[in-house]
Structure 1
Amino acid sequence: MSADAPPAEAHEHAHADVSGGRLRAAVFGAMDGLVTNTALVAGVGGGGAPPRTIVLAGVASLVAGAISMALGEYTSVRTQNEQLDLEVEKERRELQRNPGGELAELVQVMRARGVDEDLAQRVAVQLHRDPDTALRLHVVAEIGLDPADKPSPWTAGTSSFVTFAVGAAVPLLPYLLGLSLLWVALLCGGLGLAVAGALSSRATPRPWWYAAARQLLFGAVAAGATYAVGLAIGVTVA
């Protein structure tokens, strides 16, 4: 190194929690609640139902959907964690039964990542001195998940419950406030989808307007389809 070269400095930086389950569950819940109840209001309103019926159907959908989302998220994350635990135990047994083969496997993993063979061998031997470290490295390399960083099923369930309920309430607000106009309710639902999409873009490289337009388009397709169904069924029943 040149004597004039500045010394290297370590800069602290933080990353977002991409495996905790909170963000995915929250975004999924909010979008599902907005799309579900905006489409429901469009379908029931398009069928000519009175405002009281629309509110009843919307509130029932909010409660049932929020509970369903929470239970579904909790169960899915819990099942994923239990499956990971099973694979960890399988890898633990392999390390105990065939340590030489697992050592060679770790060497190959590091070789595939560009580490020289001699260095990979020395590093693998050193890492295998700690069984817990070796186990974690093998699981991450072979499964792609870190057993020490599992998402919380309670966090996922709670996040999806709350955000679904909030999202599902948005298209009902005009009716709850006494403004019984279908187009106003659909406008609220559309604005909610656009805002939710724009907020979700803060955790992604997408521009806010792209995410907002994408969610608005998804909601418009769903609402348009249910509105057409409501019109068809309403006319038939009448």
Structure 2
Amino acid sequence: MMGGNDRQAYDRGSNIFSPDGRLYQVEYAREAVKRGSASVGIRTEEGVVLAASRRVRSPLLEPRSVEKLHKVDDNHGVASAGHVADARQLVDVARRAAQVERLRYGQPVTTEQLTTEVSRHIQEYTQSGGARPFGAALLVGGYVDGEARLFETDPSGTPYEWRAAAIGGGSDDLRKHLEEHYDEEMGLNDAIALARDALSDEDDEDEDGEFIAVAVVDEEGYRTVDVGEDAASDAE
């Protein structure tokens, strides 16, 4: 069994495997994600719903300044959990990848390709000396060529595709809630209601949805939705 001093030796390098095959810095980055406020994504035939709990630490803080939902391009959006600054860097990677595809080929990047590009960038930081893994996870939702898709990236650089997913604090309980109530035939409005219910159950402060941000990606593109409105209503 490894002693504490031995373990600390492997903690110092983000690209050094421990004798039992673990990368401790990646595991710590996953813990950083779990300490962040939660985000959920739900895929429907009509599009993808992204929702995030915006944790407001002071009544003096403007809730809209807490960015958890990001537009990548007209066909994609991202919900994040974990370190906000790390998430912004990854969103910039996604935006550049979307722009390059549009400029080179005159068409939108597919959601799978976009997620792969971001995941490749994340993975590089798990095997490079002098760098640390990103302490953020993303839910990437897209609607391209009439098809809605939803992916998750984690600090290891591994992408997963989901029908419905949760990241951040309380993600295990949120995922159970989604498993119990998700319906493949639900529409966007039902998915918005499910996302709000899941996040409200997780945080009592959000029972009225006041600090829950919602965005939709469908055939009309990416747009935010005011709490209390349906998917047909655009936010200012």
TM-score (norm 2): 0.28
Between Structure 1 and Structure 2, which shows a larger proportion of helix residues?
Answer: 1
TM-score (norm 1): 0.28
Quick check: which one's strand share is greater?
2
Greater radius of gyration (CA): 1
